[in-house]
Structure 1
Amino acid sequence: MYRSTLTAAKWSFRRSFATAIKPNIKLLAKLRQETEVSMAKAKEALVKNDNDYDLALNWLNQDALTSGAKKAAKVADRVAGEGLVSTASVNARSTIVELNCETDFVSRNSVFKNLASRIAATSLLIHEPVLNGSAIEEIPVSVLMKAPLMPHSDHTEGSTEDLGKTVEDVIVKTIGILGENITLRRAAVVNHGVSASYIHGGDGSTGKIGGLAVLEVDGDISQGNMEALTKSARQVARQAVGFNPKYAREQDVPAEDLEQQTDRSSYLKEVVLSNQAYLMNPEQCVSDYITQVAKDAGFEGARLLDFVRWEAGENIEKRVDNFTDDVMKAARGE
């Protein structure tokens, strides 16, 4: 009796082992490429959902939200001193955001890059221009965090796992995926004028340094060559990123700063963007370059209104890496 019971148990175990679902290799590769989760997590998702790709993807997203919330609570006090600056532009309106993480390694991850780009696009679309306001206005981070996150620009049909989720929701989810503290530090948008952006040290939409430049145009803006003027604004943003000026125009320089200078002319050429030698033609200052482009494009004139230049992690005290501590924390699942 005992032997027959034992034999039956063995056959039952063998049958269950033989019929256990194995993850589809092609779906496994696709799932990892799209989500960048670990091999073990991707296998678990497919096995639990009978190799149904859409169900597996949904399971991973729900799992990431749950684990992300737990992880976010654990890592909230960690310094996020690395990250990316991202910009977006539509119809001569531009925006810029800074998204931070703990390490440069994570900042180069495609999931993190895509998140930064989507937040930039979101910040542009949720903001209503204020014509009488400043040329560039900061967007409260608290407001942006509650906004529905825009989808990827290359989102394929059916890939709607983040549909309806807020910026905050997807940041938490990404913390669960990448395992680091991720914070949205700041955001700014152009209210009026002709603007463009420039990114350095990245892929064109995200990078380590980013800038915006805003031009004010004389005359009917609909009658001139806007494309040429927008390209000019991009060149000025590039100048700002490369030469790191402090002020847009001479009138923006505080009087006390000028009083401390022995050579005011040289100082103004160094710290005022409009006065700097134009990078593509040092014989010409940036202000003269803008004026020339505007006239050639059919406008009565143009001038620099304002600019911003942000560097990811600037003025944040960077963490001191301790490889041994990091390995021990990873081993403990922290």
Structure 2
Amino acid sequence: MVLPLSLLHSTRSFRACFGTARTIAAASSRALTTSAKPSLAQIVGRLRRETQAPITRARAAAEKFPNDYDAALRWLQEEMGRVGREKASKLAERTANEGMVAVLAGPGARGVLVDMACETDFVAKNAVFRQLIERTAITAMLAGDFSAASTTAVSVGGLAKPISPEVLLEAPLLELPEAAPSVDMAAEPKRVADGILDAVSKLGEKITLRQVLLMDGEASMTSHVLRQAAGYAHGGADPGAGRLASLVVVEAEAKEADAETVATAGFRQALTVLGRDLARQVVGFAPTCIDVPAGETSEEAMGAALLRQPSLQGGGTVAEALEAFAAKHKIEAVRVVDFVRLEAGSK
């Protein structure tokens, strides 16, 4: 999953969109009271669209507050939270060995991997679970400054660090602005922990946030050097989540006199595609380093180095593919700065 550039200039821009969506939702809610009275079936349908609650609970909310949609929605959300807490308590001793890793990359050298656990592969592929893990990834990217939460690097280049799941659980569970009108935005955003409880109440399985890795680096070192993060996930129904996922940061360098080359939208897109291909390589070949140490020639060491592996895109090794990219775009060089690979449930 890739976030548009406009969303990542600042968290303020996201919150502005978020506030606009809340206004739209509030206006839509008021419209129910000023237009013809909706039928019970219409109210139930809208409640289910906004909360994904079971039809029995949505109907109970509609019958309890037939003339006040906002009250029905609040009651239903509170009820779902209560049911989720009760189920989570009962499921606490159960083992959650399945799950998915969501990957999210944005413009610049910034990205996130989120590993969320559940009990069965069936639930891992469920739309409710997938939406939860993707929204959690968005939260890790946009909801706050988590970069100081850890000082221990977990990637070969040192840009990726773990975020404490306990810290992220207390953050507001965000949604992409284009999806906001389809969810309840009239109330304050729920925490990630509340979103997990909602999913537990709907799916009936133990769900936990296992790991979160944040890749956080500078987008541009100078005007003629550009860094870009890209991600890839394998083994899932959506391109943004799977059993295995990776993030890669690539760096393109042009001559100072040709700085405009790396600033164009077309080049940025090409660099993103290259990064995604490299992320797929990392998932498939599981390298443990970018290149071999000077003087190292053993077959084992060469096979573990990303640049020495045969490129999945053909044309020789990964190093040769990078040289070809630089020549095609008439730049000085393109390099792999960092990468990290995460498998669901790994430690």
TM superposition score category, shorter chain reference? 0.7 to 0.9
- Give the one of 57, 70, 78 matched to 1:41: 57
Structure 1 residues 277 and 158, CA gap change in structure 2 (3 angstroms): closer
Identity %: 33
| TM-score, normalization by structure 1 | 0.75
CA contact (8 A) 2:64 2:72 kept: yes
Aligned-partner Cα distance in 1 for 2:186–2:83: 16
- Give the one of 293, 301, 308 matched to 2:333: 301
Equivalent residue, structure 2, for 1:214: 249
Equivalent residue, structure 2, for 1:204: 239
Q: Note the C-alpha offset of 1:96.
A: 1.1
Partner amino acid for 2:170?
K
- Give the one of 164, 167, 189 matched to 1:164: 189
Partner amino acid for 1:156?
P
- Give the one of 110, 113, 120 matched to 2:130: 113
Partner amino acid for 1:98?
D
Aligned-partner Cα distance in 2 for 1:207–1:195: 18
Aligned-partner Cα distance in 2 for 1:129–1:301: 29
Structure 1 residues 157 and 280, CA gap change in structure 2 (3 angstroms): closer
- Give the one of 81, 86, 102 matched to 2:97: 81
Q: Note the C-alpha offset of 1:239.
A: 1.1
CA contact (8 A) 1:23 1:43 kept: no
Please identify the structure whose Cα radius of gyration is greater: 1
SS of 2:189's equivalent in the other structure is coil
Structure 1 residues 30 and 203, CA gap change in structure 2 (3 angstroms): same
List, as ranges, runs of 4+ consecutive aligned residues in structure 1 with deviation greater than 6 Å: none
Q: Note the C-alpha offset of 1:54.
A: 4.0
Q: Note the C-alpha offset of 1:226.
A: 2.2
Query: How many matched pairs?
Result: 283
Aligned-partner Cα distance in 2 for 1:298–1:135: 28
Structure 1 residues 308 and 26, CA gap change in structure 2 (3 angstroms): same
CA contact (8 A) 2:100 2:124 kept: yes
- 1:270-317 per-residue CA deviation (whole Å, 9 max, x = no partner) reads 322221100110x411122123323433432122222222222346xx
Q: 5+ unaligned residues in a row in structure 2: which ranges?
A: 1-37, 218-226
SS of 2:180's equivalent in the other structure is coil
Equivalent residue, structure 2, for 1:191: 216
Aligned-partner Cα distance in 1 for 2:317–2:324: 11
Aligned-partner Cα distance in 2 for 1:295–1:59: 61
- The 5-angstrom pairing of residues 261-276 of structure 1 reads 264-265=298-299, 267-276=300-309
SS of 2:289's equivalent in the other structure is coil
Q: Note the C-alpha offset of 1:161.
A: 6.1
SS of 1:236's equivalent in the other structure is helix
Aligned-partner Cα distance in 2 for 1:289–1:129: 32
- 1:100-155 per-residue CA deviation (whole Å, 9 max, x = no partner) reads 1111121122121111011111111234668x982222222222122222124512
CA contact (8 A) 1:151 1:162 kept: no
SS of 1:308's equivalent in the other structure is strand
Q: Note the C-alpha offset of 1:268.
A: 3.2
Q: 5+ unaligned residues in a row in structure 1: which ranges?
A: 1-21, 316-334
Aligned-partner Cα distance in 2 for 1:275–1:75: 47
Structure 1 residues 128 and 42, CA gap change in structure 2 (3 angstroms): closer
Structure 1 residues 54 and 162, CA gap change in structure 2 (3 angstroms): closer
SS of 1:180's equivalent in the other structure is coil
CA contact (8 A) 1:23 1:51 kept: no
Partner amino acid for 2:334?
A
CA contact (8 A) 1:218 1:302 kept: yes
- 1:6-42 per-residue CA deviation (whole Å, 9 max, x = no partner) reads xxxxxxxxxxxxxxxx972344344335433333222
Equivalent residue, structure 2, for 1:136: 160
Q: 1:236 and 2:278 equivalent?
A: yes
Partner amino acid for 1:242?
G
SS of 1:98's equivalent in the other structure is strand
Aligned-partner Cα distance in 1 for 2:250–2:303: 20
CA contact (8 A) 1:229 1:294 kept: no
Partner amino acid for 1:115?
L
Structure 1 residues 23 and 37, CA gap change in structure 2 (3 angstroms): farther
Aligned-partner Cα distance in 2 for 1:162–1:109: 26
Partner amino acid for 1:177?
K
Aligned-partner Cα distance in 2 for 1:34–1:157: 6
- Give the one of 287, 290, 294 matched to 1:245: 287
CA contact (8 A) 1:65 1:169 kept: yes
Partner amino acid for 1:45?
A
